[in-house]
Amino acid sequence: MTSHLTRRATLALAAFALAGSAHAQSGEKLKVGLMLPYSGTYTALGVAIENGFKLYVDEQGGKLAGREIEYFKVDDESDPAKATENVNKLIKRDKVDVIVGTVHSGVAMAMARAAKESNTLLIVPNAGSDAVTGPMCAPNIFRSSFSNWQSSYGMGVVAARQEKKKTAMTITWKYAAGEEMTNAFKEGFEKEGGKVTKQVTLPFPNVEFQALLTEIAAAKPDAVFAFFAGGGAVKFVKDYAAAGLNKTVPLYGSGFLTDGTLEAQGDAAQGILTTLHYADDLAVPKDKAFRTAYAKAFKLQPDVYGVQGYDAAQILRVGLDAVKGDVGKKPEFAAAVEKARFDSPRGTFTMSKSHNPVQDIYLRKVDGKENKVVGVASKALSDPARGCKN
Ligand code: PHB
C-alpha cells in the first residue's frame, strides 16, 4: 500500500515537473500580473514601477529566460478592502505565473497572504510593510524595494546625532507604512537621546493638513518627521511651507516625501533632508545608463519607484534563469535569488534570507529638482526581519 502510494506520488511529481519544463520549452508566454495603483494619490508611483519593469524586460530583448512576457493589469486603487478580490483576479482568473505588486502596505499584506496560500510567486516593487518580510515571509515572496523600518530608522539617528535635535513630532497617514516609518524614526531618534513628543496622524489618503500644522506650530518641537508620498507628499510639503513652518521647524522624512515630486513641490521642498536607498546624483555607472534610458523611453525623469520596478524584473530574471523558465521550481528559484548580487541603479544589493534588499541608505538633501547625496546614513543595512522563520 505504502509503496503503491509512493509510486503514484512519484509519478505525479514527475508529470508535474515535465509540465513545468514543457512550459518553458514550448515557448509558452510567461504571464506577469501587474497589480498597482493606476488611480488615486499613488498613481504616478504605479506608472513608474511599470515603466521600470518594462524597461528592464525590453533591455533583455523582451524575454526572460527565453520566454516572451504577457502582461495582465489590475488597478488596486490603494484600497486594502478590495485587495483580496483584486489579487484573485490575477491568481484565479488569469492564472498568472508571477505577481508584481504593489505600492500600498495594507494592500500588499493581503497580496502576500493570497500568494502564500496559492504558492504563487510574488515580487513586491514598493510596499514596505515590515510584516511581508517579517512574520509573513515565505520562499515564494520577494521584495525589490525596502522595508518601512529600513527607510526611516537612519533619519532618526541623523536628526539626533548630526542635526543635534532634542525633540521631534511625527506626522503621517494612519496605516501600516506611516506607522512603521514614524516608529522606526522614533526608535533611531530616541536611541541617540532624542525624544518624540507626539505622533499625529490623519486617515489615508486625506490631505486636510491644516489642523495638524497648527498643532505643530503651537507645540514648537525642534524637528518634524513625516511620511507622505505621491500626490499627498506634494500637498503636504507645500502646505508646510505655506504655513511658514519650514522657516522655524526643520522637516525631515523618509525619501518618499521628495521623490518623484520635486517638479510639483518647487521652492517649498528646498533643503529638506531625507533618507532613502536611492538619490538623483549617485556615482553609480549603472544609474547613469538607467536614467538616460528611462528618460528616453518615457519622456520622464526616473525616481526610486522606477528603480524598484526595474529591479523587480531583474530579480525575476535571475530566478527564472536558474530554473530555465519553470516557475514551478520555487526552491531553486529562491536559492538563485538569495545567492545573487544585483547590479541596481541604486548601487549593488543582495537579498537577505527574508528576501528583502540589504542596501545602503543615503542621506539626501533637496537642491533644485534633485535629491542630492550628502552622505550614507547606514551602510549595507539589513531589515531586522522580526518574526521571519525562513
Ligand atoms: C507603503 O504603503 O508601503 C508605501 C507607499 C508609498 C511609498 C512608500 C511606502 O512611497
Of the chain, the end-to-end C-alpha distance in Å amounts to: 35
Q: How far apart are CA 306 and CA 308, in angstroms?
A: 5
- Asked if residue 346 lies in contact with residue 277, where contact means CB atoms within 8 angstroms, the answer is yes
Residue 216 scores a pLDDT above 50: yes
For residues 5-18, give the mean pLDDT.
Answer: 44
Residue 138 scores a pLDDT above 80: yes
Tell which CATH classification among 3.40.50.170, 3.30.360.10, 3.40.50.300, 3.40.50.2300 matches the domain 26-146+282-359. 3.40.50.2300
Q: Which atom of ligand 1 is nearest to the CA of 233?
A: 10
Between the CA of 209 and the centroid of ligand 1 the distance, in Å, is 19
Between the CA of 177 and the centroid of ligand 1 the distance, in Å, is 6
Average pLDDT for the chain:
94
Nearest-10 crossing angle of helices 230-242, 210-219: 50
Alpha helix ranges (H) inside 162-247? 176-191, 210-219, 230-242
- Asked if residue 222 lies in contact with residue 167, where contact means CB atoms within 8 angstroms, the answer is yes
User: Which DSSP string do the residues of 53-95 spell out, in sequence order?
Assistant: HHHHHHHTTTEETTEEEEEEEEE-TT-GGGHHHHHHIIIIIS-
Q: How far apart are CA 48 and CA 233, in angstroms?
A: 16
Chain-centroid distance of CA 330 in Å reads: 22
Q: Across the chain, where does the E strand assignment appear?
A: 30-36, 63-64, 67-75, 98-100, 121-124, 141-143, 167-173, 195-202, 223-227, 251-254, 273-276, 341-344, 347-351, 357-367, 370-381
For residues 289-311, give the mean pLDDT.
Answer: 98
Highest CATH level, class, for 149-276: alpha beta
Q: How far apart are CA 9 and CA 181, in angstroms?
A: 47
Between the CA of 228 and the centroid of ligand 1 the distance, in Å, is 8
Between the CA of 240 and the centroid of ligand 1 the distance, in Å, is 20
- Asked if residue 200 lies in contact with residue 10, where contact means CB atoms within 8 angstroms, the answer is no
Interval 258-284: pLDDT, tens: 999 999 999 999 999 999 999 999 999
- Tell me, what's the pLDDT at 390? 81
Q: Which atom of ligand 1 is nearest to the CA of 230?
A: 10
Q: How far apart are CA 274 and CA 218, in angstroms?
A: 24
Q: How far apart are CA 232 and CA 253, in angstroms?
A: 13
Q: Picking from 11-20, 79-88, 252-261, 296-305, which range would have the lowest pLDDT averaged per residue?
A: 11-20
Identify the band that residue 324 occupies on the pLDDT scale cut at 50, 70 and 90: very high
Phi-psi region of 173 (alpha: psi -120 to 50; beta: other; left: phi over 0): beta
**39 contacts: CB under 8 Å, gap ≥ 6:** 75, 77
Q: Which atom of ligand 1 is nearest to the CA of 229?
A: 10
Residue 7 scores a pLDDT above 50: no
**Pocket lining for ligand 1, CB < 6 angstroms:** 103-105, 126-129, 177, 229, 256
Chain-centroid distance of CA 313 in Å reads: 13
Domain with CATH 3.40.50.2300 in the chain: 26-146+282-359, 149-276
Q: Which atom of ligand 1 is nearest to the CA of 78?
A: 2
Between the CA of 18 and the centroid of ligand 1 the distance, in Å, is 40
Only one residue has cell 524584473, namely 313
User: pLDDT over 90 for what percent of the chain?
Assistant: 93
Between the CA of 108 and the centroid of ligand 1 the distance, in Å, is 10
Full-prediction pTM beyond 0.75?
yes
Determine the residue of 42, 77, 102, 126 to mutate for testing ligand 1's pocket, defined as the one with the most ligand atoms within 8 A of the Cβ atom.
126
